[in-house]
Structure 1
C-alpha cells in the first residue's frame, strides 16, 4: 500500500470526525489561540496546493497524531507536486522545426504553437517564475528558430509572428517574476518586434505595457509612465475593450508609482469605462483573466500605495473573499497589499494576521514579486513591533 500523503491524512481525519473544512479551521484557531486559519487554508492543504509550516504542531494536536507522523505525510506529498510537463500539451519542450530545417510549415503548426503558448500561460497561474523560467525561455527559443528557419505562406508567417509575440510576452512576465529583469526586457522587446511585423497593434500594446509595468516596479518610474502611455497610444482606439482596460490599468499603476494621484485616478476611471464596453467582441485569448475583479485589485493597490487605506481595505477584502486559492502567488500578492493597508490604517493586529497568512503562502514560492512584497510587508509592520501579534510575525519571518 502506498504511503498516505498529507492531503489524504488530513481529509481522512476530518471526515472521521464528521467535520467540515470550516469546523477543522475553527478547531485549529481554538488550539493555537489565533483566529487566522480559514476554510480556504484547509482547502489548500487538502487539495495539495500548499503544505503547512507554522501550523504543523497545532494540526498534529487537533488530529491526535505525532508531529513525526505529520511530517512523514508532508514529505510523501512533496513527491506528487505537479510538473510543467503535465500542463504543456504534447511531447518535447516546444513545437519543433520539421526534419531537415527550412521545410514548409502550415497553419496547423502555428495553431500548435499557439496552444503551447496558452498552456504556458495557464502554467504561470500556478507555478512561480523561478520554477518556470527555463522551460519558458526554451519554448521561446524554439519558436523563434521555427519562425526563422521554416518557409510558409504570408498568412502562416503572420500567425507564427503573433504566436512568437505572445510567447515572448508570457516568457518576459515569467522572467520578471523570477527576478531576471534584463532577460524579461529582452523577451518583451523581441515580442514587440514580432507583433509589429504581424501588424498586431493590440499585442504590441500588451508587450510594451508589460515592459512599462516592470520599469515602474524596479525604480524606473518616469520611464514607466512614458512607456505605459505610449503602449496605450500604439494599441489605438480600436483595441478590444478589455485590452484597453488593461492598458489603462498599467497607466494608472505607473502614475501611482510616481505619486501623481490625479493622473492615477483618471486612468483608473478610464479603465473601468473601457471594461464596461466589453460584450462579445472578437479579442485575443490572452485577455481571459481581465475582469472587474482585476480592475478592483489595481484600484485597491493604487489606494494602498497612495496611503489611502480606508478605500483599499474594503476593496481587497471583497476580492479576497472570492479569489481562487489555487493561484498562490496572486493570493500572496493581494494579501500583501491588504496587510500594508491595515498597517497604514493603524490596525496592527489585523495587519499581523494577514501578514502571517501572506508570509506562509509566499515562503519558498519561487517568485521575486512575492519576495519583494514580503519585504515591504515586514517594513510596514516594523513600527508596531511592540504589539505582541506583530512581534510574533516578525520573529517567524
Structure 2
C-alpha cells in the first residue's frame, strides 16, 4: 500500500474528526502556544504547497493523536514526490483555475533579523523573573519560545539562521536549568541535547562552549564529577578564542566537578583562576550571573567547600555572602541559606540551622525550587542528632509544609 503524502494524511485526519481547517489551526495554536496558524496555512499543508517543518509536525501529531513517525513518513513522501502532488479542491482552498501549476518547493522563509535582539531581551526578563518566581512559573513560556525559535531556525536563511540558533542555545540551556530547579533532570538533559545541536548549527565557538558547560551543570546535579571535569576541559580547549565571561563560566563549573572528586586543591586553583579572569569581564557586553551575583566566585567556593565537608570554611563564607545578596536574588538566597544551615548543623549549631532552614523553606513555598528542597533534605540529615529534642521538632515543623519528613 502506497504511503500517503503529508497533505493527503492531514485531509484524512481532519475529515475523520469532522473539523474545519480553522478548527485544526485553533487546535494547533492551543497545543504549541507559540505560532498563530490560520485556515490558510492548514490549506497550504493539505495542498502540499508547504510541508510542515519538524516542530510543526510534532504539534500536529499531538493535535490528531497519532505517532510523529506517521507524519514524518508522509512528509518524506511529499519531499520525494514534490512537484507531482495533485492540487485538490479542499475546504477553504481557492477555486482551481483552468491552468494549474505544481506546488512551490518549501523554500526558506524571511525571518526578520530584529527577532534576534527581541528574543535576547525577552530572555533577560526571564532570567530576572526566575530569581523571584522560580521555575514552574516560567517553564511553559520558555519552552514555547524554545519551540518557536526552533521553527525559525529551520525556516530562516543562512546568516539569520546561525544567529537565531545561537539565541536558541541560550533558551534551550535556560529551559534545561528550569527543569533542573524543578526537579526533572531527565527533561533537562533533553533540552541540553537540543542546545548541543543548535550550538553546532550556529557555528559559534562560544555557543558550543556554553552548551558543554551547561551540560556539565546538569551532570553536577547527578554527582558525576569526572563527566563534569571532562566537559569543562573540552569547553576550555579553545580558551584563547573564548570571552572572559565564558572562561569564568567553565572554570567555576569545573571546580564543582573537582569537588565531587574530593580535590580541594584543584577547587581552589580553578576558582582562584576564575576570580582573576572575572576582573576582565565586560558588564556591558555580557550581563551574566557572574556579574549579577555579588561574590559570584565565592558562592561557588562555599558550595564546593560544603560538598567537601569543610563546614567551618563554608559557614564563614556564607556569613559574608548572604547579607550582601540583593533582594532580586531571593531564590538563590534560599538555596544558600539551606547550604549554610547544613554547615551550621555540622558545626553543632542546631538553633542557627533551624533559623536558616526556616528562611529557605519559605522560599521553596514561593518558588517551588526542587534544588532548595534537596538542600533542605541535607539539613534534615545533618540535624538527625537532635531529632528527638525540641530543636529537632522545630525543624520538623519547618520542613513539613514542603513535604520533608512526612
Calculate the TM-score normalised by the size of structure 1: 0.69
Match of 2:374 in 1: 372
Post-superposition CA distance 1:347-368 (Å, at most 9, x none): 2222222122222322353221
Spell out the pairing of 1:190-201 with structure 2 (5 A cutoff). Answer: 190-201=194-205
Q: CA contact under 8 A between 2:128 and 2:328: conserved in structure 1?
A: no
Residue 393 of structure 2 is aligned to residue 388 of structure 1: no
Residue 259 of structure 2 is aligned to residue 253 of structure 1: no
Alignment CA distance shift 1:387-1:325 (3 Å): farther
Match of 1:360 in 2: 362
Post-superposition CA distance 1:248-283 (Å, at most 9, x none): 110001111221222222111111121123356x74
Report the Cα distance in structure 1 between the residues aligned to 2:369 and 2:294, rounded to whole angstroms. 25
Residue 353 of structure 2 is aligned to residue 343 of structure 1: no
Residue 174 of structure 2 is aligned to residue 170 of structure 1: yes
Residue range with higher mean Cα deviation, 112-121 or 311-320:
112-121
Q: CA contact under 8 A between 1:97 and 1:145: conserved in structure 2?
A: no
The one of 243, 247, 263 equivalent to 2:246 is 243
Alignment CA distance shift 1:114-1:396 (3 Å): closer
Q: CA contact under 8 A between 1:179 and 1:368: conserved in structure 2?
A: yes
SS of residue paired to 1:268: helix
SS of residue paired to 1:321: helix
Report the Cα distance in structure 1 between the residues aligned to 2:193 and 2:137, rounded to whole angstroms. 23
The one of 206, 210, 214 equivalent to 2:210 is 206
Q: CA contact under 8 A between 1:136 and 1:174: conserved in structure 2?
A: no
Report the Cα distance in structure 2 between the residues aligned to 1:187 and 1:167, rounded to whole angstroms. 9
Residue range with higher mean Cα deviation, 172-181 or 319-328:
319-328
Report the Cα distance in structure 2 between the residues aligned to 1:286 and 1:93, rounded to whole angstroms. 28
Report the Cα distance in structure 2 between the residues aligned to 1:279 and 1:285, rounded to whole angstroms. 8
Post-superposition CA distance 1:289-347 (Å, at most 9, x none): 45551111111111122122222222211111121234332111010111111112222
CA positional deviation for 1:164: 0.9
Aligned-residue CA RMSD (Å): 2.6
Report the structure number with the largest CA radius of gyration.
2
The one of 276, 279, 295 equivalent to 1:276 is 279
Report the Cα distance in structure 2 between the residues aligned to 1:208 and 1:343, rounded to whole angstroms. 35
CA positional deviation for 1:387: 4.7
Q: CA contact under 8 A between 1:349 and 1:390: conserved in structure 2?
A: no
Report the Cα distance in structure 2 between the residues aligned to 1:93 and 1:126, rounded to whole angstroms. 24
Alignment CA distance shift 1:151-1:393 (3 Å): closer
The one of 298, 313, 336 equivalent to 1:296 is 298
Report the Cα distance in structure 1 between the residues aligned to 2:318 and 2:379, rounded to whole angstroms. 15
Report the Cα distance in structure 2 between the residues aligned to 1:396 and 1:163, rounded to whole angstroms. 41
SS of residue paired to 2:295: helix
CA positional deviation for 1:372: 0.9
Match of 2:23 in 1: none
Post-superposition CA distance 1:206-243 (Å, at most 9, x none): 22111111112123332222222222325x22322232
Aligned residues: 302
The one of 97, 112, 137 equivalent to 1:106 is 112
Alignment CA distance shift 1:180-1:292 (3 Å): same
Report the Cα distance in structure 2 between the residues aligned to 1:338 and 1:151, rounded to whole angstroms. 48
Q: CA contact under 8 A between 1:242 and 1:290: conserved in structure 2?
A: no
Match of 2:235 in 1: 231
Alignment CA distance shift 1:337-1:112 (3 Å): same
Q: CA contact under 8 A between 2:245 and 2:286: conserved in structure 1?
A: no
Report the Cα distance in structure 2 between the residues aligned to 1:255 and 1:290, rounded to whole angstroms. 25
Alignment CA distance shift 1:95-1:233 (3 Å): farther
Give unpaired runs (5+ residues) of structure 1.
1-91
CA positional deviation for 1:96: 6.7
Give unpaired runs (5+ residues) of structure 2.
1-31, 42-49, 51-107, 400-406
CA positional deviation for 1:151: 3.4
Match of 2:133 in 1: 127
